[in-house]
Structure 1
């Protein structure tokens, strides 16, 4: 749901076996995600959302998203094109490494999605 923004938007991408029905009921207001953040990670542009939270005291930023080119396809509802591209490029991913420019670990999945963590500035090393 972090990439589509809501349960209803997620449901249209899932079969019943994948949990389509789970996302078609009432939604909690906090379940809606806003794709208002963009970061370049490992020299690839990603669109998604970020959250700041405390992890044993220090404030941490978590970013989840998807490669911008794939995000545009999902936003338009071009699921078949998304699937074809992800399938054709699946061997260039996944990747788990530390991105010096970002300042923390970055995990890129075979489907083009990304999850990245970093300490916020001034939080210590």
Structure 2
């Protein structure tokens, strides 16, 4: 499960990194979607930071003998924050999804919803890893 958490963290980091880079360098949102903002900054920047933390903690969980409990706590905490964060922005996107269907978005779901699915998967895996 530790490797899966790390891989999901890396996938989220790459996805949020792509979204953040497009916004930073082109001043437009990727994939033809509207950009959600939080405290004046695009939500994808915060997603990038959270996935970076998850990836670092997951790496410690895999390769550090000393800090396993702290790393697992970090993964669990940050993924829970990610669920709250992405969940909030996903709820705001639901009216468009219900009005236009899956064709409203490039991947069928808003990017915040995709991030939410990753956060839920990481949180669930970290919860089960904790019970070992």
Higher relative helix content = 2
Give the strand-richer structure, 1 or 2: 1
Same fold (TM over 0.5): no
Greater relative contact order (CA < 8 Å, ≥ 6 in sequence)? 2
TM-score by length of 2: 0.30
